[in-house]
Amino acid sequence: MCDDVVRGRTSALAALLRGAATVEGDPELMVLAQRLFPRRRAG
């Protein structure tokens, strides 16, 4: 799961909503940290 987020294959927020990931602490930090990882490009 972590590799997929780091490589841009999935969104950390999407994984959280699917129940594939959990957050300990402040979930806002996860959303902010997601900006550090690449995004999957459309097409």
Instruction: Considering only residues 27 and 39, tell me which one the structure prediction assigns the higher pLDDT.
Output: 27
Instruction: Considering only residues 31 and 20, tell me which one the structure prediction assigns the higher pLDDT.
Output: 20
pLDDT value for 41: 65
**DSSP conformational letter for 29:** H
pLDDT value for 19: 92
Indicate the pTM of the whole model.
0.61
**CB neighbour class for 35 (10 Å; exposed up to 12, middle 13-18, buried from 19):** exposed
Q: What is the pLDDT of residues 9-30, one digit of tens each?
A: 888 888 889 999 888 999 888 8
